[in-house]
Structure 1
């Protein structure tokens, strides 16, 4: 069995260069974690989730010792990138805790307006998401947590942000993009990672 490291990787959402994760990164550092924002290119999703999750794999291999595991926190599309890494690229062996924040696990209506591969993959009922969700139980070893808000008008329907397994938190955050900035969301993520460490 691999040892748990204090490495926490933060994966931002679509078109996001990481500013949304800075407060969370600092909070995790204050709690004693080695928190890293993972900038994926090109995070429009133009080349698809596979292109991004392979980059995530390279980052995990570079930042986490081979005999250790890490925690992954994915915001919005970042949570789907993380799931592909976990479920398809063998990341399940390298990660002991997975948290998604407002990720479209079952797709979003708005993804239909993105006329490229990543957009097609994030649409409701896409073959890509159906394949991940058919094997969702494999995530149970990461003690998954999904965090969502019923006021989300980016992830439509908003219940798409809830994984069918693991724990979930709902917070009354008014906008999708505010989720990773929200103090309660940050506290919930920090608390989950601290408990996973103990």
Structure 2
């Protein structure tokens, strides 16, 4: 598989992609072909699975046969990406996965969402436990997690750190500002660029 310069941005809950427009613009200027997913049912009402299927379809649409792409998921978007990568065969089509303040081990706030997606994103959920039981499947995507110690949406904030790959702590004041932060955007661009020059 050849690594392409296609990058797909996956927004968080209730977000149609506006939070990632600044990052999309910066990555386009850096020479990437960047797509911002506008997830349907982005409340998570029907769970992560339908949104992961939308992501799979977009990857197939914008990535040429024989090429891989990169995924950058913010908050819930990182969990949608993980389901695609780990349960829908997406790891074969992706050479880089970056999560931004995603609740890999759940968030206390998800207990206030009384529907499927909320139950999946709770601390100790079977859904996240299943994904974390074989998180090693992400190794081939050179995973990166970026998080802020001031996060009051992902509680505890340590939930935002993947158990593998590179991690970056960036002191962003609010959860929703993470994908717009200049340092975060700089790290994402550096990570997407560096993986392209590696032979694996």
State TM-score, norm by structure 2.
Answer: 0.98
**Corresponding position of 1:61:** 60
Provide the secondary structure at the position in 1 that maps to 2:28: helix
**1:45 aligned onto 2:59:** no
2:182 — aligned with what?
Answer: 183
Shift of 1:17: 1.1
1:55-134 superposed matches below 5 A: 55-134=54-133
The one-character-per-residue Cα deviations of 1:126-154 (angstroms, maximum 9, x if unpaired) are: 00000000000110110000000010000
Aligned to 2:15: 16
Deviations 1:103-147 (A, max 9, x none): 000000000000000000000000000000000011011000000
Mapped partners of 1:112, 1:100: distance in 2 = 22
SS in 2 for 1:5: strand
Cα displacement (A) at 1:197: 1.4
SS of equivalent to 1:4: strand
Secondary structure, aligned partner of 1:139: helix
| 2:158 is aligned with 1:174 | no
Distance 2:58 2:140 in 1: 21
* Partner secondary structure for residue 72 of structure 1: strand
Greater shift, 154-163 or 59-68, is seen at 59-68
Q: Secondary structure at the match of 1:115?
A: coil
Query: Which consecutive residues of structure 2, in runs of 5 or more, have no partner in the other structure?
Result: none
1:26 aligns with 2:21: no
Q: How many residue pairs align between the two structures? A: 197
Residues 50-108 of structure 1, C-alpha deviation per residue, up to 9 Å, x if partnerless? 01101100110111012100000000000000000000000000000000000000000
- Provide the rounded CA distance (Å) in 1 between the counterparts of 2:162 and 2:108: 17
**CA–CA separation in structure 1 for the residues paired with 2:60 and 2:88:** 12
What stretches of structure 1 of length at least 5 have no aligned partner? none
Cα distance in 1 for residues equivalent to 2:47 and 2:133? 19
- Confirm whether residue 145 of structure 1 aligns to residue 144 of structure 2: yes
